[in-house]
Each structure stands twice: as C-alpha cells, then as structure tokens.
C-alpha cells in the first residue's frame, strides 16, 4: 500500500522547481518558440474584475465584451457558446449539447445544467448491431442514425432565464455577425475539413457550405455561413421555439429522415434541459463542484481525488514516478467503476453517494502497492478504436468564466466527434451531432474513445448518453478559486484532474498548470498513455519496472483554466497551448 510517508522519503531539494522549469520549456515548444523565449508565453493572463478563458479567440473576445457591459458569467458563457458554434464547427454547435456547472456567489449556490442530447423516441438497444449481432461501429459515429436530439439551444436559454442579465438578442449578436460576414479560417479548421473529407465523413449538404465548388479551403480563406446567420437571427428574436419547432426543426428532421435516421419533430418539441444537483467533494481543504450523471466526469474526478488525498504528491514532485504511479492507479480504478455503474440517472440507479464516498476511496486505495501495479487493466475485445490513438484534441470545446461579482461558469460543449455526424441540415447551417456513439452499442463494447460501458448506458428512447465532460469549480469556503474544463473525449476527466492537482499540490500558476505534460489511464485499453514529450526516460523506465505499459500520444486535452491569486487579489487565466484559445482578463 502506498503511504504518504513513503512518498515523503523521495523529496529532493529543488525537484519541484526543476519540474516547473521543464513546464516552461514545454510551453515554449508548443507555442513554436525557442526555449530561451519560454518566459514570454508562460505568464498567465491577469484581471482584477473577471476573466474569460476560451478554446477559440473570437469567442473569448465576444464573451469578455459582455462582461465589460455588466453581463453575468452566464451571459458571457452563452455568448461564447454561440460564437463557438460559428468558429469551431468541428467541436460544438447548435446541433449538439453541453454540460454546465456554475456558482451564484450572492446566493452561495452551485448549480449544474444538463443540456445533454437525448436518444430519439424510436431508438432501440439493437440499432447499432448487424444481422449477426455484432456492433457496426460506423452507424453510431457517422450519418443519420448517429444523430441524437440536440440540447444546447434549450440549455443556453434556460441558463439565461435563471442567471442572465443582458437581453438575449445581445448575447447572440456576435455569432450572427461572424456567421453573416464570415471570418478567416484558421489552420485547425481547414486541417479538420481535409481530414474528414478524406475519410468520406462529410455529407453533400455539409460540403456545399464548407467546400464550395468542391474545393478544400486554405488557411485564411473566408468562411461565410449565411444559413447559420439566419438561424441564429431567428433564435435571437424568438428564443428556442424557433429551433425546436417550425421550419428549422422541420429542416433538421428532413435531413435526418432522408438519410435513414430516427429524429422527429416530436423529439425536438419535447426536449428539455435539466437542472441537477452538482457533485461535491473535498481536496486539500477546498470544495470541488462538478457535473453529475449523465456525466461520469464529476463522479470520477471526485473519486480519484479521494483516492489521491492520502498521498503526498507535492513531496513526490511533479513528473516523478512516485507521483504518477498512484495517479495512474487511481485513474484505472475510477474508469473501471465508470464501466460498471454510470448511466443516465433518470433511467438507471447510479450509486453516486457510494462512488464518491471516502469509504469507497479507502477500500480502493487499500489494494494499491508502492512497488508494482496492483490494479489490472483490460484490453477491449476487437482491438483499440482508431480514435483512441488519434492526435486530435479538437472534438468538444470549453469556456471558463468569472464575472465581477465572483459568479463563475464552466461550460463544456460538444457535437461529439469532429464535425459530429458529418451531416448539415440544408438551409439552416446546423451541423448535426453523432452523440449516439456515447451509448453502449452493446454491453462491454468500446465506443470511439475506447471506453467500455455497461447496461446502465444502453440505448433507450429519450435517454441521455453517458458523458466524460467535466466542467468543474473549486471553492475556498464561499468563493470560487478555480474554474476548469477540457475537451478530449475519454481524457477529459484526467486532464481536468491534473489541472487541479497541478495547482493545489504542485503550486503551479495557471499557465504552468495547463501546459504541464499529462498522463492518462482509462482501464481499457490496458496501456497507460503519456504525451510523447511528457515523460523522462528514467521515469518511464521506473514506471515500467512497476508494471505499467505505455502508449504515447502527441497531445491530450485542451484545458481552459482560471485560478484566483488570493495574495494579489486578482484572477489569473490560461488557455492550454495544445489548442488555439486565449485567456482575457479585465
């Protein structure tokens, strides 16, 4: 059993400073700078009144303008979400969903809003199985059968009704302008278009908007989305009714049904976002507030923190085998529980209180060993899905916001895989999700991210698929001191976990915390992952001696982080250098 006293014996003078120096160099390399210029990119953004950290610059600028006008954190997050639907169409959009955790400082109240997509009423547990009873993976990942009922628009409306200050049309105005007038496409967008086009995933109506005249765009080409601008304008004037009923709804249904899908106008009209009680845990004297089921994120974030609470990670030192060994073991334990117990709480009994209890953590921790791997991992039947080893961090997106009153919002938004289903509803500009892949197509069958899922996450009409999205707040008494979240499929939970540990255990600032190399284990596949530049050879050899096996991935996650500098009385923020976002304080 690993004890904190054992880890303390590994402490060496200067180890943590050496590790943070390595983070500085790593940050510079990701930014394309020589190591000597590391300090130029290492400083986090600063703001006395508030902060926006967003995965895409235009959305961040639009959101901070809302804060400057007196808008709430919720207003800023809503604006960012609509802009991201225009500028990051590979990651999120009106045809997808999202999970939101927020804090109202005046009322001392945390909340969670579930705008997760739902299965159409005609969905069945066998819909992704072939005649021989085996899973046909492409059916749940590309095309019409992969489309679930979108939840984002309704969710953002309900957030505004509860927590908004500025008029709803004002919040959509930047997205309308960007869609109508266009913007210069960044390389990330053009690269995603080229990749997905080569894979044959982009339907004709999609190509008509993004590949005009059949030509792949170059970076810097202007993307104008006139149909999407009209859709956004209708939403600005009429609210969610314009999306869930009427001509926009009819166009989405027509597109899906023409291609053999199940979505109906009744499905759209019946959709509602759900207010839920957040998951709460405690770590290093702080309260952790995160997303409850149907997300697995909050449950297993708190579970892993509970397991790790008895280890002196700070004494072990960032990047050491003594720190990463218990972290990898805790990850495996949590993801195994994820495969057994998690699903939509409206359809299954999810033992949340037990999973996040100290007793459960104590029981799991008791089986761990300092000198070797104690928790066995499992290789999925049929091999590892390609998306598991893909370098792409660009599916799903995140925005973190704090306003002048100390209110905070962490919002993770998605259409699932890159460009969702690859379908666009003609005349609307709305890209449709492929969220049905987050269900278990069959018991113990891996999804696109290699996650094994059980009967609790089987397909059912009206059910919400299990998610890994982990929008999270950390509080010190009644004040938010950290806001975090990330895209990245199955690595979302562990990327968010490590951002918190980097701040609370290793004393990193916001920029260092999002830049530091990461590790990941999800129980199945059997190998742990580390970023290709993110582990020293000696550390890897020591972990392998203890029984860990590794794959490398170029990048994992894209964390958007806000941290309160309590000594200076300011907010600090940093957008992960693995992406193209930014942090803006005011």
In the chain, domain spans: 4-42+277-388+470-559, 51-120+146-275+396-453
- Second CATH level (architecture) for the domain 4-42+277-388+470-559: Orthogonal Bundle (1.10)
Specify burial of residue 216 (Cβ count, 10 A radius: 0-12, 13-18, 19+).
middle
Cα–Cα distance measured from residue 433 to residue 116, given in angstroms and rounded to the nearest whole number? 11
Q: How many residues does the chain have?
A: 586
CA neighbor of 413 nearest in space, from 94, 164, 193: 94
Taking the alpha carbons of 508, 514, 520, 522 in that order, is the dihedral positive or negative? positive
Cα–Cα distance measured from residue 362 to residue 189, given in angstroms and rounded to the nearest whole number? 45
Render each residue's pLDDT in the chain as its tens digit; 586 residues.
222 222 222 232 233 334 444 444 444 444 443 333 334 457 899 999 999 999 999 999 999 999 999 999 999 999 999 999 999 999 999 999 999 999 999 999 999 999 999 999 999 999 999 988 888 878 999 999 999 999 999 999 999 999 999 999 999 999 999 999 999 999 999 999 999 999 999 999 999 999 988 899 999 999 999 999 999 999 999 999 999 999 999 999 999 999 999 999 999 999 999 999 999 999 999 999 999 999 999 999 999 999 999 999 999 999 999 999 999 999 999 999 999 999 999 999 999 999 999 999 999 999 999 899 887 766 555 554 444 444 444 589 999 999 999 999 999 999 999 999 999 999 999 999 999 999 988 776 777 676 777 789 999 999 999 999 999 999 999 999 999 999 998 999 999 999 999 999 999 999 999 999 999 999 888 899 999 888 999 999 999 999 999 999 888 999 999 999 999 999 999 999 999 999 999 9
pTM: 0.92
Cα–Cα distance measured from residue 410 to residue 454, given in angstroms and rounded to the nearest whole number? 28
The structure tokens listed for 470 are 């982990």
CA neighbor of 458 nearest in space, from 127, 121, 138, 234: 127
Taking the alpha carbons of 178, 180, 185, 188 in that order, is the dihedral positive or negative? positive
Chain segment 292-322, per-residue pLDDT in tens: 999 999 999 999 999 999 999 999 999 999 9
Contact 167, 446 (CB under 8 A): no
Count of helix runs (H) and strand runs (E) in the chain: 22, 21
Please tell me which residue in 27, 79, 396, 412 is annotated as part of the active site: 396
CA neighbor of 168 nearest in space, from 231, 248, 74: 74
CA neighbor of 409 nearest in space, from 112, 128, 172: 112
Cα–Cα distance measured from residue 495 to residue 322, given in angstroms and rounded to the nearest whole number? 19
Cα–Cα distance measured from residue 195 to residue 485, given in angstroms and rounded to the nearest whole number? 26
The structure tokens listed for 233 are 């304008």
Residue with tokens 């290492």, as numbered in its chain: 42
Cα–Cα distance measured from residue 380 to residue 441, given in angstroms and rounded to the nearest whole number? 14
Whether residue 396 lies in the annotated active site:
yes
The structure tokens listed for 547 are 């029984």
The structure tokens listed for 449 are 């991210």
């Amino acid at each position: 059993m690993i004890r904190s006293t054992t880890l303390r014996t590994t402490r060496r003078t200067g180890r943590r400073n050496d590790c943070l120096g390595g983070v500085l160099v790593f940050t510079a390399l990701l930014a394309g700078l020589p190591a000597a210029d590391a300090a130029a990119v290492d400083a986090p953004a600063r703001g006395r009144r508030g902060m926006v950290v967003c995965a895409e610059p235009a959305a961040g600028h639009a959101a901070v303008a809302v804060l400057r006008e007196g808008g709430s954190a919720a207003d800023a997050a809503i604006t960012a979400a609509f802009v991201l639907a225009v500028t990051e169409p590979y990651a999120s959009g009106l045809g997808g969903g999202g999970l939101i955790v927020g804090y109202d400082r005046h009322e001392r109240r945390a909340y969670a809003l579930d705008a997760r997509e739902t299965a159409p009423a005609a969905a069945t547990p066998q819909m992704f199985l072939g005649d021989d009873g085996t899973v046909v993976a492409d059916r749940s990942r590309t095309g019409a059968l992969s489309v679930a009922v979108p939840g984002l628009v309704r969710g953002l409306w309900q957030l505004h009704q509860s927590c908004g200050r500025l008029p709803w049309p004002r919040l959509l105005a930047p997205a309308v302008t960007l869609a109508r007038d266009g913007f210069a496409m960044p390389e990330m967008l053009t690269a995603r278009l080229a990749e997905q086009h080569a894979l044959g995933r982009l339907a004709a109506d999609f190509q008509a908007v993004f590949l005009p005249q059949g030509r792949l765009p170059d970076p810097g080409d202007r993307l104008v989305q006139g149909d999407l601008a009209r859709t956004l304008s209708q939403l600005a004037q009429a609210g969610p009714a314009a999306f869930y009923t009427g001509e926009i709804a009819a166009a989405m249904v027509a597109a899906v049904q023409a291609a053999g899908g199940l979505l109906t106008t009744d499905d759209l009209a019946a959709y509602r976002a759900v207010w839920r009680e957040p998951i709460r845990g405690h770590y290093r004297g702080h309260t952790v507030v995160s997303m409850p089921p149907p997300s697995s994120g909050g449950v297993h974030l708190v579970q892993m923190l509970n397991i790790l609470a008895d280890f002196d990670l700070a004494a072990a030192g960032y990047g050491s085998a003594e720190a990463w060994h218990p972290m990898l073991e805790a990850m495996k334990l949590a993801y195994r529980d994820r495969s057994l117990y998690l699903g939509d709480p409206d359809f299954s009994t999810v033992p949340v209180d037990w999973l996040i209890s100290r007793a459960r953590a104590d029981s799991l921790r008791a089986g761990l060993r300092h000198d070797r791997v104690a928790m066995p991992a499992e290789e999925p039947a049929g091999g590892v899905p390609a998306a598991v080893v893909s370098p792409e961090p660009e599916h799903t997106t995140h925005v973190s916001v704090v306003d002048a009153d100390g209110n905070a919002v962490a919002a993770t938004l998605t259409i699932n895989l890159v460009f969702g289903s690859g379908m666009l509803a003609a005349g609307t500009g709305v890209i449709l999700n492929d969220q049905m892949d987050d269900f278990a197509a069959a018991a113990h069958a891996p999804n696109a991210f290699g996650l094994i899922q059980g009967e609790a996450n089987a397909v059912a009409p009206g059910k919400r698929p299990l998610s890994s999205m982990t929008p999270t707040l950390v509080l010190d008494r009644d004040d938010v001191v950290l806001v975090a979240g990330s895209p990245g499929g199955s690595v979302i939970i562990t990327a968010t976990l490590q951002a918190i540990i980097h701040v609370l255990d290793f004393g990193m600032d916001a920029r260092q915390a999002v830049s530091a190399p990461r590790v990941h284990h999800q129980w199945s596949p059997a190998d742990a992952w580390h970023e290709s530049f993110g582990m020293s050879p000696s550390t890897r050899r020591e972990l392998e001696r203890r029984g860990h096996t590794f794959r490398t991935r170029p990048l994992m996650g894209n964390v958007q982080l806000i941290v309160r500098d309590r000594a200076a009385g300011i907010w600090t923020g940093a957008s992960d250098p693995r992406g193209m976002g930014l942090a803006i304080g005011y």
